[in-house]
Chains A and B, each alone.
Chain A
Amino acid sequence: MPLLDIKNLTLEIDTGTQVIKALDKINLTVNSGEIRALVGESGSGKSLIVQAISGATPPNWTITADRMSWNGNNLLSMSEQQRRQILRKDIGVVFQHAIASLDPSVTLGEQLEESLPEQLIEGSWFWQRAQSRRKEVIRTVHKVGIKDHEQYLQAYPHQIPTDIGQKLMLAMALISQPKMLIADDPTRGMETTTKVQVLKLLSRLNQTRSLGILFVSHDLLAIASMSHSMTVLYCGQTVESGKMKQIRKRPLHPYTKALLDSAPSFSKDLPPKSLLPTLPGTIPTLQHLPIGCRLGPRCPRAQRACVNVPSVRKIHDHAYSCHFPLHREKV
Chain B
Amino acid sequence: MTRILFRYFVLFTLTLLALCALSFSLIYLFPAEPVTTLTGITPQNLIQHEALINQYHLNSNILVQFGDYLSELFAGNWGVSLISGQPLSKEIMLALPATIELSACAMFIVVVIGIPLGCYSGLRAYSNADFTINSISVTLYSVPVFWLAVIFILTFSLQFGWLPLSGRVNLLFDIPHQTGFLFIDILLADNLDKSAALSDAFLHLILPTLSIALMSTASMIRITRRSIIDVLNKPFIIAAKSKGLSSRQIFVRHVLRNALLPILPLMAMQITTLITNAMIVETLFSWPGIGNWLIQAIYQRDYSALRMGMLAVSTLVVMITIAIDLFNRLIDPSREKFESVTI
Chain A residue, CB-CB nearest to B333: A156
- Among B126, B243, B249, max chain A CB count under 10 A is at B243
Known contacts A103-B254, A104-B334, A105-B334: A93-B242 contact under CB 8 Å: yes
Whether A55 lies near B245 (C-beta < 8 A) is: no
Per-residue CB proximity of B222-235 to A under 8 Å, as 1/0? 00000000000111
Q: Are B235 and A95 in contact (CB under 8 A)?
A: yes
Q: Which of B239, B244, B253, B334 contacts A101 (CB 8 A)?
A: B239
Q: In chain A, residues 79-132, which have Cβ atoms closer than 8 Å to a Cβ of chain B?
A: 84-89, 91, 93, 95, 97, 100-107, 114-115, 117
Q: Is A56 an interface residue (CB 8 A)?
A: yes
Which of B235, B241, B246, B254 sits near A55, CB closer than 8 Å? B241
* Contact of A171 with B by CB under 8 A: no
Contact in complex: B239, A88 (CB < 8 Å): no
CB of A115 within 8 A of CB of B236, answer no
Within 8 A of A (CB), among B321-343: 332-334
Summed over the interface, the residue pairs from A and B with CB atoms below 8 Å come to a total of 76
Q: Within 8 Å CB of B333, what residues of A?
A: 104-105, 107, 156
A residues in contact with B257, CB < 8 Å: 105-106
B238 within 8 A of A: yes
Point out the residues of chain B lying under 8 angstroms from A31, CB to CB.
Answer: none
Interface centre among B237, B239, B254, B257 (most CB of A within 10 A): B239
- Residues A55 and B332 in contact in the complex (CB < 8 Å), given A100-B234, A100-B235, A105-B258: no
Judge whether A58 is part of the interface by a CB distance below 8 angstroms: yes
Interface size on B, residues (CB 8 A): 24
**Residue B312 lies at the interface, judged by CB distance under 8 Å to chain A:** no
Number of interface residues of A (CB under 8 A): 32
The answer to whether B258 and A85 touch across the interface, beta carbons within 8 angstroms, is no
CB distance from A112 to the nearest CB of B (A): 10
Q: A106 with B254: in contact, given A84-B246, A101-B239, A114-B245 (CB under 8 Å)?
A: yes
Q: List residues of A (46-100) whose CB comes within 8 Å of B's CBs.
A: 51, 54-56, 58-59, 84-89, 91, 93, 95, 97, 100
**How far is it, in angstroms, between the C-alpha of A97 and the C-alpha of B246 when the chains are bound?**
22
Q: In the bound complex, what is the Cα–Cα distance between A95 and B240 (angstroms)?
A: 11
Q: Which residues of A contact B253 (CB under 8 A)?
A: 103, 106, 114
Q: How far is the CB of B133 from chain A (nearest CB, A)?
A: 18
Contact status A54-B238, CB under 8 Å:
yes
Whether the Cβ atoms of A95 and B244 lie closer than 8 Å is no
- Docked pose: A105 CA to B231 CA in angstroms: 12
**Chain B 242-263 per-residue mask, 1 if CB under 8 angstroms from chain A, else 0:** 1111100100011001100100
A151 to B243, CA, bound (A): 24
Q: Is residue A313 contacting chain B, with contact meaning CB distance below 8 A?
A: no
A158 at the interface (CB under 8 A from B): yes
B242 and A55 within 8 A (CB): yes
B319 to chain A, nearest CB (A): 27
A6 within 8 A of B: no
Contact assessment for A105 and B242 in the assembled complex, using a CB-CB cutoff below 8 Å: no
CB-contact partner of A95 in B239, B254, B334, under 8 A: B239
A312-330: contact bitstring with B at CB < 8 Å (1 yes, 0 no)? 0000000000000000000
Q: Report how far A220 CA is from B254 CA in the complex, Å.
A: 36
Task: Given A103-B258, A105-B257, A105-B258, verify A114-B243 contact (CB < 8 Å).
Answer: yes
Tell me the complex Cα distance, A115–B253, Å.
12
Contact with B along A163-190 (1 / 0, CB 8 A): 0000001001000000000000000000
Neighbouring A residues of B261 by C-beta, 8 Å: 105
CA A103 – CA B261 in complex, angstroms?
13
A138 to B146 Cα, complex, angstroms: 61
**Distance between B41 CB and nearest chain A CB, rounded to angstroms:** 57
Q: How far is the CA of A103 from the CA of B235 in the complex (A)?
A: 9
Could you say which of A84, A101, A117 contacts B235, with CB atoms under 8 Å apart? A101
**Distance between Cα atoms of A101 and B242 in the complex (Å):** 11
Are B236 and A88 in contact (CB-based, < 8 A)? no
A54, B242: Cβ atoms closer than 8 Å: yes
Q: Min CB distance, A35 to chain B, in Å?
A: 20
Q: B258's closest neighbor in chain A, by CB?
A: A105
- In the complex, the chain A residue whose C-beta lies closest to that of B247 is A80
Q: Which residues of B sit under 8 angstroms from A169, Cβ to Cβ?
A: 239
- Name B residues whose Cβ lies closer than 8 Å to a Cβ of A: 126, 233-246, 249, 253-254, 257-258, 261, 332-334
